[in-house]
């Protein structure tokens, strides 16, 4: 048996044919930029995530940059960034002219270290801060972080690239965010047929700025109120996402079942998955295990490879130690949890519609490697 780390082509029966039919009809009508598919998707996203405004764009990195610029972040502005996240979170700050300051994370949930964040807010007086909701849930301190930023006049952007469909205390995690973003990269819970992203906010002015900046700063077809860039969400990506939205609840439920199966069965093997914080219902984006014993981790990864089981390390390097960060990073607050995470994290396969026999195969391999020290 082979079990990939993620299988993004495990569609519902008839999905691919419906997609091919949609491409054919849209191509015949030359429906490529804007139009009803984009409008429909934005309306569906607003409803699903309980936000007032959704602005589609070309990709998740652009969504971050649009969000930061909409908040007024520009040259020389200090922006707090989590030290454990995807590189796009860090580079978006640099790309809009901001000065990144990294903040350590909490190993309990992968979210920002609240104490270090508060210290950085008071010491740096940043223009803005970015928090990343990793692993298919959010930080346990989200309400406190939002309140702290409001108290100190810090513009908070929430990077939600991994948390589509997540709820906190019975409500969408995106609800109540000053401004938030997501990525529709194909491997996400709601993935496109290529690159796509979106910005979410309840603030009409922020939404208008983000939309204008993503369309060359236009105020009219040949009128420009700002210097933006071309980050429009193309109609074909919107159409694919609309089709996927028809099945998103079933996909998330499937992911959650697999995540829970890992959580239920892995401790008996000696490997314990990370849990979502209290109050969260995850979306099953990925499995997260921390293996502090280096030799055990190497043995496990070797056995997974030998048995054709995919795995990941999300993420294998902290922002503050990346070669590309050195000339931009102003300072780091907190400890070295992000570095510890990068050295110990292991992600087992998890995707929509995993089969019971695939889960059994993966868990048996973990048991052989961790409990018995088997090698092949």
Of 235, 208, 240, the residue nearest 34 (C-alpha): 235
pLDDT of residue 371: 73
Of 262, 279, 241, the residue nearest 351 (C-alpha): 262
Provide the token pair at 344.
């110990």
Strands (E), 196-298: 197-201, 218-220, 223-224, 280-281, 289-290
pLDDT of residue 374: 47
Of 111, 177, 100, the residue nearest 143 (C-alpha): 177
Are 344 and 337 spatial neighbours (Cβ–Cβ below 8 Å)? no
pLDDT of residue 64: 98
Averaged pLDDT score across all residues of the chain? 97
- The rounded distance, in Å, linking the Cα atoms of 323 and 321 is 6
When pLDDT is averaged across residues 132-146 and rounded to a whole number, the result is: 96
The dihedrals phi and psi of 375, each to the nearest 5 degrees, come to -140, 150
pLDDT of residue 375: 39
pLDDT of residue 373: 64
Which pLDDT tens digit goes with each residue over 276-304? 999 999 999 999 999 999 999 999 999 99
pLDDT of residue 146: 98
**Per-residue pLDDT band at 95 (split at 50, 70, 90):** very high
**Per-residue pLDDT band at 171 (split at 50, 70, 90):** very high
Give the angle subtended at the CA of 18 by the CAs of 13 and 24, to the nearest 5°.
Answer: 155
pLDDT of residue 370: 77
**Per-residue pLDDT band at 122 (split at 50, 70, 90):** very high
Which pLDDT tens digit goes with each residue over 2-61? 999 999 999 999 999 999 999 999 999 999 999 999 999 999 999 999 999 999 999 999
Mutual orientation of helices 60-70 and 204-213 as an angle, nearest 10°? 120
Q: Is the pLDDT of residue 376 over 80?
A: no
When pLDDT is averaged across residues 318-340 and rounded to a whole number, the result is: 98
% of the chain exceeding 90 in pLDDT: 98
């Amino acid at each position: 048996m082979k079990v990939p780390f993620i299988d993004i082509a495990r569609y519902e029966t008839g999905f691919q044919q419906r997609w091919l039919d949609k491409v054919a009809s849209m191509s015949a009508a030359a429906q490529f930029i804007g139009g009803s598919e984009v409008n429909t998707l934005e309306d569906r996203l607003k409803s699903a995530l309980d936000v007032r405004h959704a602005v589609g764009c070309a990709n998740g990195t652009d969504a971050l940059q649009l969000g930061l610029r909409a908040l007024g972040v520009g040259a020389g502005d200090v922006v707090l960034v989590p030290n454990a996240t995807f590189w796009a979170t860090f580079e978006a700050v640099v790309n809009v002219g901001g000065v990144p300051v990294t903040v350590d994370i909490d190993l309990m949930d992968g979210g920002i270290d609240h104490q270090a964040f508060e210290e950085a807010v008071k010491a740096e007086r940043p223009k803005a801060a970015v928090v990343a909701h990793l692993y298919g849930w959010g930080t346990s301190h989200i309400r406190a972080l939002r309140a702290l930023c409001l108290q100190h006049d810090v513009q908070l952007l929430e990077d939600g690239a991994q948390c589509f469909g997540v709820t906190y205390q019975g409500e969408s995690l995106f609800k109540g965010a000053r401004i938030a973003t997501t990525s529709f990269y194909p491997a996400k819970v709601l993935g496109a047929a290529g690159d796509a992203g979106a910005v979410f906010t309840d603030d009409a002015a922020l939404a208008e700025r983000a939309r204008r900046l993503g369309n060359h700063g236009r105020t009219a077809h040949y009128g420009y109120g700002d210097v933006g860039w071309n980050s429009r969400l193309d109609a074909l990506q919107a159409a694919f996402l609309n089709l996927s939205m028809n099945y998103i609840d079933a996909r998330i439920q499937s992911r959650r079942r697999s995540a829970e199966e890992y959580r239920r069965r892995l401790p008996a093997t000696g490997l314990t998955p990370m849990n979502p914080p209290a109050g969260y219902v995850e979306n099953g984006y990925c499995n997260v295990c921390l293996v502090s014993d280096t030799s055990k981790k190497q043995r496990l990864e070797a056995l997974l490879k030998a048995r054709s089981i995919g795995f990941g390390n999300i993420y294998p390097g902290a922002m503050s130690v990346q070669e590309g960060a050195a000339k931009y990073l102003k300072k780091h607050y907190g400890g070295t949890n992000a570095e510890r995470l990068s050295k110990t994290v292991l992600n087992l396969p998890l995707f929509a519609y995993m089969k019971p026999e695939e889960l059994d195969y993966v868990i048996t391999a973990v048991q052989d490697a961790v409990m018995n020290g088997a090698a092949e």
